Chains A and B, each alone.
Chain A
Amino acid sequence: MTAKSNVIGVPRFTETTDLTIPTLTILDADGKLRKNAHEPAIDKATALKIYENMTYIRVLDERMVAAQRQGRLSFYLTCTGEEASVVGSIAGFKSHDMVMSQYREQAALRYRGFSSEQFMNQLLSNDLDLGKGRQMPIHYGSRELNYMTISSPLATQIPQAAGYAYGQKLVGKDACTICYFGDGAASEGDFHAGLNMAAVSNCPVVFVVRNNGYAISTTTSEQFAGDGIAPRGIGYGISSIRVDGNDILAVYAASVEARRLALQTNAPVIIETMSYRLGAHSTSDDPSSYRHADEEEIWRQKDPILRMKKWLLDRGWWSDQQDHQLKTQYKKEILDALKSQEKRPSPPLSDLITDVYKTPPLHLRQQYTELLNHIAKYPDHYLPNPNNIDHQSALTQVN
């Protein structure tokens, strides 16, 4: 028993309402500094980088949904409405910090320097996809950018992030891990396991929970009965903060402070960003069947990008003309990349069996030989892209 407690003589239950988590908000809806709010130190270059990234992702998401509708991609998933939650948080970290994300944080990857071509390579599963065409679109990852490859199972990255951060602590460099997930993932067992492990083992990891109101069609009121996710952090002994996820300065200020706290105290920190998933869950989803357009409109009025733009315009750091130019430039950059990268071939067939193990074991090499012999009998049936196979070199590569 280590918990400190006051002794009482009659049954008095602690109510959930006894703990109220405040919400950090710095900018109002018009991008003006709120009364009593403290503007975080942020230079012009960082502010513009943040804004440009949010804008880029909005354009990318719009273009890729359109490309999916045209049949050029099999699947896509937007970050629309949550750009500030993601960019504001990643901007508070260093490039050598590890990012372990869920799947709606492509803005963090862009912030680290992922190019339009690299996005397309992954989305199109071509020969330059770092993931070698093995995962569905949006499962990005890059060793160079310290961005852990995404996996579909929810919340699995949470205990992993704790372990990664523990390793960083042992190495002793000024590095930590930032781990993203959503309000739905916080219902998984791995959330509880991961938070507890991180707290008990003193891991410098910052958990960013995007509370966006929905897990596909399930509303947060159907997801949990308590007051969101941040209070759970308190239960695990973790410093926790709730921020307005559509307020870029609030997210940024909380993130800079969270990183400092995590590294200074060797302990996890939780940031819950309150926002709204303005788009569908994915291109396979249709929100009109479970939520009202009026509700979406309310949140469209709170667009985080617009809010930041107003703040930038007020400061004289940005203009409408620059804004227009930027969007046009991004649109072209993305469409050019889509056009060029969709012409690329698939990865080589040998990638079917490499990387299962460090070295393909005998039984796998035998199965591959069987496959090659079979394909040789029906080449037109199996290989839409015959350029990608050279049987002899394929065999050499795996042997």
Chain B
Amino acid sequence: MPQINLLQAVNSALDIAMAHDPRVICLGQDIGQFGGVFRATSKLQEKYGKQRCFNTPITEQGIVGFSIGLAAQGSIAVAEIQFADYIFPAFDQIVNEAAKFRYRSGDEFSCGGLTIRTPYGGGIAGGLYHSQSPEAYFCHTPGLKVVIPSTAYQAKGLLLSAIRDPDPVIFFEPKAIYRAEVGEVPDHDYEIPLGVAEVVTEGTDITLVGWGAQMHQLHRAAKMALKDGIHCEVIDLRTLLPWDLETVAASVTKTGRLIISHEAPRTGGFAGEISAAVQEQCFLSLESPIMRVTGMDTPFPLVFEKEYLPDYLKVYEAIKQSVNF
């Protein structure tokens, strides 16, 4: 099986989706001949033509609004927002329009063919506006699905599922590991179901939950803890909305301890939701308070990025704290 990176896996998914279904259209800033600022859409315009893969003006609300209309018409629209930090001009189109399209029309119309791809997250010295993790805003919106892959294999399978899913999906891509994350990815078409978490490492002492680039911090912390004799069960959520409470709750019932980690600021972050839902289900199984290892409640910093980020050392310390509670 070929080894490719996460970015190439995204490109492969788009390529397959476009090859198999002529209704699939890719649009966004610089995604045409240039292939996108990260090269995720490389060669797609060459293969499928300018009508199916094209540059747009710099207008996020325009790109998303246009894509909603395209999807409502019956096309499969795959829009790229160049950085998740710049998704906010499209917030109204996503939250008030895409998310509510089917509901408000009584299923007369739907824009389920819409997928919005956008690179997110820190670790690239991007400062305030090239580093954010805005997933929680969208997880607060019924009607959307929110998906975040952490490996090349996941990126391809989840993106193919997202594109073919009958509901609008926001697909956050962990840009910090676009090239660093390399793994075996089949050439062929495959899908990974949405809404299903993956237990990546089985363990008995504590459950670690995360998604996207943060998974690599969790794995590293789990390896350190193992040297101390602590067996961590590591769960990759993969889909944040709707998220797989069953898998997480089953794990916490077994381990009695839970740490949730994300790059986004703590207050209002998605770890809060997971924490609340798990304590409702697992109260009598809990051996220690559920902990959150997250970004701080500041804008995303530049020179202190390393200090801000919830890295493996912070996760490792939290593991010890939880186990020794």
Interface residues of A, Cβ cutoff 8 Å to B: 98, 100, 129-132, 134-135, 139, 141-143, 148-149, 151, 153, 156, 158-168, 170-171, 177, 189-190, 192-194, 196-197, 200-201, 351, 354-358, 361-364
B143 to chain A: closest residue by CB: A356
Could you tell me if A141 and B70 are in contact, using CB atoms closer than 8 angstroms? Answer: no
A177 to B77, CA, bound (A): 18
Q: Which residues of B contact A177 (CB under 8 A)?
A: 69
B113 to chain A: closest residue by CB: A167
Q: Which residues of A contact B204 (CB under 8 A)?
A: none
Per-residue CB proximity of B131-144 to A under 8 Å, as 1/0?
00000000000110
A159 to B56, CA, bound (A): 12
Could you tell me if B109 and A197 are in contact, using CB atoms closer than 8 angstroms? Answer: no
Q: Which residues of B contact A170 (CB under 8 A)?
A: 25, 51, 75
8 contacts between A and B (CB under 8 A): A151-B104, A159-B64, A161-B69, A189-B89, A197-B63, A357-B167, A358-B102, A364-B142
If A149-B108, A189-B89, A197-B66 are given as contacts, then 7 extra A-B residue pairs at C-beta distance below 8 Å, sorted by A number, are A149-B104, A151-B96, A160-B97, A167-B70, A197-B57, A197-B63, A357-B143
A130 to B242, CA, bound (A): 27
Could you tell me if B66 and A166 are in contact, using CB atoms closer than 8 angstroms? Answer: yes
Shortest CB distance B305–A (Å):
31
Could you tell me if B100 and A151 are in contact, using CB atoms closer than 8 angstroms? Answer: yes
Q: Which residues of B contact A151 (CB under 8 A)?
A: 96-97, 100, 104
Q: Which residues of B contact A153 (CB under 8 A)?
A: 92, 96-97
Specify which of B109, B245, B246 is in contact with A141 (CB 8 Å cutoff).
B109
Shortest CB distance A349–B (Å):
15
Among B102, B104, B106, B246, chain A packs the most CB atoms within 10 A around the CB of: B106
Which residues of chain B (33-87) have a CB below 8 Å from chain A? 51, 54, 56-57, 59, 61-75, 77
Specify which of A131, A171, A189, A354 is in contact with B104 (CB 8 Å cutoff).
A131
Answer yes or no: B107 CB below 8 A from chain A CBs. yes
Could you tell me if A98 and B143 are in contact, using CB atoms closer than 8 angstroms? Answer: no
Q: Which residues of B contact A201 (CB under 8 A)?
A: 54, 56, 66
A355 to B56, CA, bound (A): 31
Q: Which residues of A contact B143 (CB under 8 A)?
A: 356-357
B52 to chain A: closest residue by CB: A170
CB contact under 8 A between A197 and B59, given known A131-B105, A355-B107, A358-B167: yes
Q: Which residues of A contact B145 (CB under 8 A)?
A: 357
Could you tell me if A358 and B166 are in contact, using CB atoms closer than 8 angstroms? Answer: yes
Could you tell me if A135 and B104 are in contact, using CB atoms closer than 8 angstroms? Answer: yes
A167 to chain B: closest residue by CB: B73
Question: Ordered nearest first, which 10 A-B pairs have the shortest CB separation?
Answer: A159-B65, A163-B69, A193-B62, A167-B73, A160-B69, A149-B105, A163-B66, A164-B69, A132-B106, A163-B70
A41 to B112, CA, bound (A): 42
Could you tell me if A164 and B65 are in contact, using CB atoms closer than 8 angstroms? Answer: no
CB contact under 8 A between A156 and B65, given known A163-B77, A170-B51: yes
A122 to chain B: closest residue by CB: B106
A94 to B40, CA, bound (A): 40
A181 to B315, CA, bound (A): 52
Q: Which residues of A contact B100 (CB under 8 A)?
A: 151
Shortest CB distance B246–A (Å):
8
Could you tell me if A194 and B65 are in contact, using CB atoms closer than 8 angstroms? Answer: yes
Shortest CB distance A187–B (Å):
14
Q: Which residues of A contact B57 (CB under 8 A)?
A: 193, 196-197, 200
Specify which of B25, B68, B102, B110 is in contact with A160 (CB 8 Å cutoff).
B68
Q: Which residues of A contact B92 (CB under 8 A)?
A: 153, 156, 190
Could you tell me if A363 and B245 are in contact, using CB atoms closer than 8 angstroms? Answer: yes
Interface residues of B, Cβ cutoff 8 Å to A: 25, 51, 54, 56-57, 59, 61-75, 77, 89, 92-93, 96-97, 100, 102-110, 112, 142-143, 145, 166-167, 195, 242, 245-246
Q: Which residues of A contact B106 (CB under 8 A)?
A: 129-132, 134, 141, 149, 351, 355
Q: Which residues of A contact B242 (CB under 8 A)?
A: 357, 361-364
Shortest CB distance B276–A (Å):
13
B56 to chain A: closest residue by CB: A197
Q: Which residues of A contact B109 (CB under 8 A)?
A: 141, 143, 148-149
A134 to chain B: closest residue by CB: B104
Could you tell me if A141 and B105 are in contact, using CB atoms closer than 8 angstroms? Answer: yes
Could you tell me if A167 and B75 are in contact, using CB atoms closer than 8 angstroms? Answer: yes
Shortest CB distance A129–B (Å):
7
Could you tell me if B103 and A134 are in contact, using CB atoms closer than 8 angstroms? Answer: yes
Could you tell me if B73 and A98 are in contact, using CB atoms closer than 8 angstroms? Answer: yes
Q: Which residues of B contact A132 (CB under 8 A)?
A: 106-107
Could you tell me if A171 and B74 are in contact, using CB atoms closer than 8 angstroms? Answer: yes
A82 to B97, CA, bound (A): 27
Shortest CB distance A350–B (Å):
13
Shortest CB distance B43–A (Å):
21
A150 to chain B: closest residue by CB: B104
B63 to chain A: closest residue by CB: A197
A168 to B70, CA, bound (A): 9
B68 to chain A: closest residue by CB: A160
A14 to B66, CA, bound (A): 32
A354 to B105, CA, bound (A): 11
Specify which of A135, A139, A160 is in contact with B65 (CB 8 Å cutoff).
A160
B75 to chain A: closest residue by CB: A167
Specify which of B25, B62, B142 is in contact with A194 (CB 8 Å cutoff).
B62
Shortest CB distance B196–A (Å):
11
A163 to B93, CA, bound (A): 13
A143 to B246, CA, bound (A): 38
A132 to chain B: closest residue by CB: B106
Could you tell me if B108 and A141 are in contact, using CB atoms closer than 8 angstroms? Answer: yes
Could you tell me if B195 and A361 are in contact, using CB atoms closer than 8 angstroms? Answer: yes
Q: Which residues of B contact A193 (CB under 8 A)?
A: 57, 59, 61-62, 65
Shortest CB distance B103–A (Å):
5
Could you tell me if B65 and A158 are in contact, using CB atoms closer than 8 angstroms? Answer: yes
Specify which of A134, A148, A156, A197 is in contact with B96 (CB 8 Å cutoff).
A156
Specify which of B61, B102, B107 is in contact with A159 (CB 8 Å cutoff).
B61
Q: Which residues of B contact A364 (CB under 8 A)?
A: 142, 242
A358 to chain B: closest residue by CB: B166
Could you tell me if B93 and A159 are in contact, using CB atoms closer than 8 angstroms? Answer: yes
A171 to B105, CA, bound (A): 24
Q: Which residues of B contact A189 (CB under 8 A)?
A: 61, 89
Q: Which residues of A contact B67 (CB under 8 A)?
A: 163
Specify which of B72, B73, B108 is in contact with A130 (CB 8 Å cutoff).
B108
Shortest CB distance A126–B (Å):
12
Could you tell me if B195 and A167 are in contact, using CB atoms closer than 8 angstroms? Answer: no
CB contact under 8 A between A156 and B103, given known A163-B67, A170-B75: no
Q: Which residues of B contact A361 (CB under 8 A)?
A: 195, 242
